[in-house]
Structure 1
Amino acid sequence: MSDRAIDGAVWSAPDNRATAHRLATVHEAALAGGTAPGEAGDAPRAVIGESWRRMLVSGVDPDHDRPQTPLPVAELERRRQVSQLATVLPVFHEGLLSAADAAQQIMVITDAEGRVLWREGSAPVRRMADRLGFDKGADWTEGVVGTNAIGTALVARRPVLVHSAEHFVRSHHAWTCAAAPLHDPRDGRLLGTVDLSGPAPAFHPMTLSLVSSVARLAEGELRTRHHRSLERLRSSAAPVLARIGGRALAVDPGGWVVGVTGLTPPDRVPLPKAPEAGPLWLPRYGMCALEPLPGGWLIRVGRQESEPRPSRVVLDVSGRDGSTVTVSGAAGSWSHELTPRHAELLFVLAAHPQGRSAAQLARDLFGDDSRTVTVRAELSRLRRHLASVLAHRPYRFADGVEVELLLPPRPAHLLPQSLAPAVAAARLG
């Protein structure tokens, strides 16, 4: 079989044993704090080297597995039921399960927190996985099991292959795994990962490409399902909107707009995670009334003479599954999931309550104070959701707004995918 480039490295199937030996040498050299002997190409791949550095900072023990605490059965079932990935299980089965059986591998699907929701495939390999605690409900994040395709893909936010001794923990060196992250096509929110894992000698150079392709198919199916649900809601909402005088919007449970009257139609309206019928304050629109529709909500827009303004912002950058901002005040609260760039921007503003100029933000985010056009464009997008709590000249949180910043327990875990100089400096302490 010819050599194939996979994720920045070249693997040769006939030379699998030699490749595993070379990786073990690189692994031992890295743990010893030195450099691997041989050519420059014997250094770990960038994605692996970055993960190993995280493991060393976090204190993961390469010689001992951490005991697993799997989810209780009831919680596992709850997570399965609420996961959007449950609706695309047939895509995974059709695209991966037969290949997993034939290649002595198992197919694993996790949620955004790295918890194994489903595990299927070769029975002998499942028994091998059991000995590692790699079973339904297990936590397969880097902080628990070290560098691995699932946990590292969750951090890197891209497909990852981890072969043999590229795993940080030695007990996993007999394995190869390939995982791809899965995102909600509506808003980019991380949903989980899909993974193929099996004995390292059974590794095939095309495994990562296969997993990545099936992940894209699953995301395409989610997108199609969402479009169908919007069309159904649009049909039922149209006669309701036609009878309304004034301003109103029809939205799905995620806030995606299917119809408006008296307004310029936005793409999406930020709703609380668990909206209820009744009065509700919304950014851009102020006080509104929320009424149920089949499959969504009707938002009647109206202003009061004395409109309550938000008074508190909680910026949460502590989790592994993305960042959120929650705005609250006398009229209630709502949360918005942030893109990585918007999380960086709000983190910098929270860390500098006196405010930052566009040039300073450009230096904070890009190390280049000339990139002010990019900064202003991103802030303009952010203000669509947070206009009531953000001020400018300089850019800052508005006066009178209390800001709480929730950080990860270890500074090194702050926004791990970020390359922004301000974030990198904050990770150092």
Structure 2
Amino acid sequence: MATSRGLRALVAESWFRSAAAGVRADTVHAPITLPDDTLRDHREAHPLARVFPLLEDVLGQAARDCDAILAVSDEAGQLLWLCGSPASLRRAEPIGFVEGSNWDETIAGTNAPGMALRLDESVQVIRAEHFRTSVQRWSCAATPIHDPTTHALLGVLDITGGVAIEVPQTMGMVRAAARMAEAELARDSLQRRTSPEPAAHRADIAVNVESLGRSETLLTVSTGSRNPVTIRLSPRHSEIVLLLACAPRGLSGDELAVLLYEHDTSDSTLRAELKRLRGLLGDELLASRPYRLVAEISADWLAVRARLSAGDVAGALLAYRGPLLPQSTAPGVGRLRAELENELRQAVLTSRQSNLMSTWTRSAWGTDDYGMWRAQYEHLPTTSPLRPLAAAQLRRLDRELGVGQPTLRRP
């Protein structure tokens, strides 16, 4: 907040950009850059038109309840939709916070929608932090919305109001709603690409799954010559897709539940998760009885295993970006994670190549691997500058883990 001690750094930088662009602090209105005769067509053609009803449903009533305004802008800062009580909308008219107005910070001065566009990140601006005096009785919280396929900036979701929205929870709600909108855009794009086509023209579906070193899987779906669509899955959906990708023949509901949940859970819980996942992927990609992915599957962890099978330990280590869904506690995922890590680790040890061992011990998952440090030490040339480092790491681990004093010598 702006206080007698000064502005926050990012706000001060925005003030400088606003002043440098010629914005005057005593300017009352934000300008209209989309007059009524072009606003409607511009809104209908904009990608966010597909998700505004969702945003209004999720946040609209909350905005009205706290006497605030829900606003959605395009990538140029032009307000395309406003939602709020009649009284709050009337109070916003004198400062030009109306549909068709432009709130780019170089046009309207420092404000949350404009800064969110400029910085491409979530921003909250509180009262006196606004550059224009007429806006300083308002507060706002905004976050960008991106195209899930191209990652291009589509626009901004904003809540503008009074004291009631200055709590941290407002920013959390705005971010959550924006992520829901992006997920809906991804689902819409994916379903349009996987919708049934005439048999003679139906394109094969290829799916690439990336789960190494990630808490949330990236799923890329390709259909023929169309541009691929990449979706970031929720942690639970990440686990389900990983398990199905490892079971080409599919899994029954009971089998999937055993692999997915640490403790017994109701069938309805799993069915609800699968229903949500099918809503995202579509029936053409996620089949049932048994549950399976109907596509040509490739995956980053399968690529590691393929290289190991071919004897390419260096290539497998290079492709290994970390443990499989490291934050997952699903039993099936944990078993796959441990199997892959053990296979790769054993291959590195068996290679007797100190450079591969060094790559392992420099990683986040291998830095405390006593056995690997020991093997690395023993296979390093006596003149290697890495040998004292390996010896020091062994002594550190001996102190921390109580492994027992090693005898550091060449075999």
Q: TM-score, normalised to structure 2's length?
A: 0.48
Q: TM-score, normalised to structure 1's length?
A: 0.46
> Over alpha carbons, which structure has the higher Rg?
2
